[in-house]
Amino acid sequence: MNNEINSIGRSLPARRVAGYALVAAAVALSLTGCQDSGSGVKESAGDSSAAGTSDSAKDSSGGKKGDKPQRLLWMGDSIGEAEAPALGAAMKAKGVEFKSMASTGGGGVVGEMAAPTWDRLPKTLKSFTPDVVAYQITTYDWENPATQRKAYERLAETVNKAGADLLLVSAPPFKLDDFYKPHKAEIETAPESAKEVAAAHPDTTGFLDASALWGDDNGADKAQRSKDGIHSCQQGSAAFAVWFGERLKEQYGFEPADADEWATGAWTGDKVYSKLGCA
């Protein structure tokens, strides 16, 4: 794949070449993550890694591993909204139908701010009928661990009853500005709360630890944050899409599309990036 990127790069603008380089690096990181516990994937009970699982192995809904996802619903806040264009492009390149519920200023399932999500989710599950729902923990999941667990349990129950698996994804490290600082402790407990819920429902709910991709320092190059220290630009979003595809491979035997099939598509011009001041 690196050779393909290099050959294409000679005829592409510098911004796109840089994007390919970062995607290639993300591929290498993702493949490394598949070989150790740093991937953060919570396997379903009785499942082995994709490499050691036969095609006839069944998942909890009775389908063969590799059947999922065919319809992926993405949930999150504005961080997830910035990741959605790349994730959607990567999924569609593999023939997976994709829909995003990620929402600026909301999108969460915890606390009073979650009311719009809970109003919208049942309708979306009914109309879109996903087989996998991925919820990236939002920057607004501001409650104590017991309340966080209760909300994630409700999410798991709602999604599973609709016939879909749930993947709970930790958020990338982001800048704790004056708006977020009062909620630092709650932000830090959310991933562990989500992990505990996933452990309680191993057949239908998984937890993906995105620190394997982003690290824990929002100011580090590895975190790939935009100028605001919170969201990602095109390259960071592409890196996440590559990493997420590899996690689906571990979970279901899903074979993600090569990054060179989608990484420099029309999604890179999505208006979400211009709002963030991305090049």
Global pTM exceeds 0.95: no
DSSP 43-55: PPTT---GGG--T
pLDDT at position 198 is 97
Say if residue 6's pLDDT is above 70.
no
pLDDT at position 67 is 84
In three-state form (DSSP H/G/I as H, E/B as E, the rest C), the secondary structure along 222-236 is HHCCCCCCCCCCHHH
First vs last C-alpha separation in the chain: 25
Rounded to whole angstroms, the Cα distance separating 25 from 29 reads 6
- CB neighbours of residue 140 within 10 Å: 24
pLDDT (tens digit per residue) in 202-259: 999 999 999 999 999 999 999 999 999 999 999 999 999 999 999 999 999 999 999 9
Give the domain ranges of the chain.
Answer: 2-41+67-275
Rounded to whole angstroms, the Cα distance separating 22 from 9 reads 12
Query: What is the token pair recorded at 54?
Result: 């036969």
In eight-state DSSP terms, residue 112 is: G
Read off the pLDDT of each residue in 178-182 and give the average, rounded to a whole number: 92
Q: Percent of the chain, pLDDT > 90?
A: 75
| 26 or 127, greater pLDDT | 127
Say if residue 91's pLDDT is above 70.
yes
Q: Which residue has the tokens 């595809």?
A: 245
User: Options 3.40.50.1110, 3.40.50.720, 3.30.70.990, 3.40.50.2300; which CATH number does 2-41+67-275 get?
Assistant: 3.40.50.1110
Contact 249, 256 (CB under 8 A): yes
**Sign of CA pseudo-dihedral 249, 191, 151, 113:** negative
Helix (H) or strand (E) holding 206: strand 205-208
Rounded to whole angstroms, the Cα distance separating 20 from 166 reads 30
Q: In 3D, which of 24, 52, 37, 51 has the Cα closest to residue 208?
A: 37
Contact 207, 168 (CB under 8 A): yes
pLDDT at position 241 is 98
pLDDT at position 66 is 57
| 143 or 17, greater pLDDT | 143
CA 203 remoteness from chain centre: 19
Q: What is the average pLDDT score of the chain?
A: 82
pLDDT (tens digit per residue) in 57-88: 334 333 345 589 999 999 999 999 999 999 99
Please give the backbone phi and psi of residue 2, each rounded to the nearest 5 degrees, phi first: -60, -40
Read off the pLDDT of each residue in 13-24 and give the average, rounded to a whole number: 43
Buried b (16+ CB within 10 A) or exposed e, 145-160: eeebbebbbbbbebbb
Q: In 3D, which of 277, 75, 57 has the Cα closest to residue 164?
A: 75
Say if residue 5's pLDDT is above 90.
no
pLDDT (tens digit per residue) in 190-211: 999 999 999 999 999 999 999 9
Q: In 3D, which of 138, 233, 224, 223 has the Cα closest to residue 180?
A: 138
Could you check whether the bond before residue 172 is cis, i.e. omega within 30 degrees of 0?
no
Rounded to whole angstroms, the Cα distance separating 108 from 138 reads 6
pLDDT at position 23 is 52
DSSP 159-191: HHHTT-EEEEEPPPP----TTTGGGHHHHHHHH
State the number of CA atoms in the 13 A half-sphere of 211 facing the CB.
Answer: 12
pLDDT at position 279 is 78
pLDDT at position 88 is 98
